Structure 1
Amino acid sequence: MGNISLQDKVLILLSWALVLRCSAAQREYFPQLRNLTWDQARTQCQACFTELVTLTPQNIQLLSQNLTSDYWVGLRKNFYCTSNHSMAWSRWANGDPLIFQNWYPGSPLFKSTQKEYCCSCSCNNPAMTTPGKTSFTTLSNFTTSYVTNTTDMSSFTNFTNQTATDFSSLWNSTTPTAATPRMPVEAECVRSPMLSPYVSKTDVNYIEDSCVAMLRFGAWIEKNCSELLPFICYEDRFLGQAIVTNSTFENARLSWLPGPGNISHYRIEVKVDKNLTEFQTGNLSHDLVNLTAGTGYSVQVFPVKCGRDLHPQKVTFFTKPHKVENLSVTNVTETSVFLRWNKPAGNLHHYLIKVQGGEQIRSDTESKEVDSLIPGNLYTFTVHSVVSDKWSEGYNIIEYTKPGKVLELRVSNNTQNSVLLSWRPPEGKYTGFLVNAAYGNNMNVAGLPLVVNQTEWTVTGLPIGTEITLRVIALTNGTVRGKEETVVDYTAPGPVSGLVLVPTSNSLTAKWNSSGGNSFTVELYLNDQKVDKRNSTSPEWQPKPPTNASAISSNKNQITFQWKPPENITTTANYSLRISSQFWGDNRSATTNNTSYTFGNLKSGTRYHFEVQTVADREPSEPAQVSHCTDAEKREISLSMLCSSTEPLLCDKNTTREEVFNQLNARFNKLLGDNVFWELKKQKAGD
Structure 2
Amino acid sequence: MGKISLQDKVLILLSWALVLMCSAAEQDYFLCPDPVTWHEARTLCQACFKELVTLTPQNIPKLTQNLTSDYWIGLRKNLSCTSNGSMSWSRWANGDPLIFQNWYPGSPRFKSSPKSYCCSCSCSCNSPAMTTLGKTSFTTFTNFTTSDVTNTTDMSSFTDMSSFTDITNQTATDFNLWNATTQNTPPTATPRMPVKEECVPSPTLTPLVPETDVNYIEDSCVAMLSFGAWVEKNCSELLPYICYDDLFLSQINVTNKTSESAFLTWLPGPGNISHYLLKVNGSLTKLPAENLTHDLVNLTAGTGYSVQVIPVKCDRRLNPQMVTFYTKPNKVGNLSVTNVTETSVFLTWNKPVGNHGFYLIEVQGGKKITSDTESKEVDSLIPGSLYTFTVHSVVNDTWSEGYNISTYTKPGRVLQLRVSDNTQNSLLLRWSPPEGNFTGFLVNVTYDNITESKVVNQTEMYVTRLPIGTQITLRVTAQTNGTLNGKEVTIVSYTAPGPVSGLNLVSSHSSLTATWTSTGGNSFIIKLYLDGQEVDTGNITTLMKCFVGLKTAANYTVIVSAFSGNLSSMPVTSSCFTKPLPPTNARAIDSNTNQITIQWDAPENVSTTAMYSVTINSSFWDINRSSTTNDIRYKFVGLKSGTRYDFEVQTMAGTEKSIAARVSNWTVAEIREIGLSMLCTSTEPLLCANSTIRDNVFEQLRSNFNNLLGDSVIWNLTKHKT
Which has a greater percent of helix? 1
TM-score by length of 2: 0.47
Task: Indicate the structure (1 or 2) with the bigger Cα radius of gyration.
Answer: 1
What's the TM-score, normalizing by structure 1? 0.49
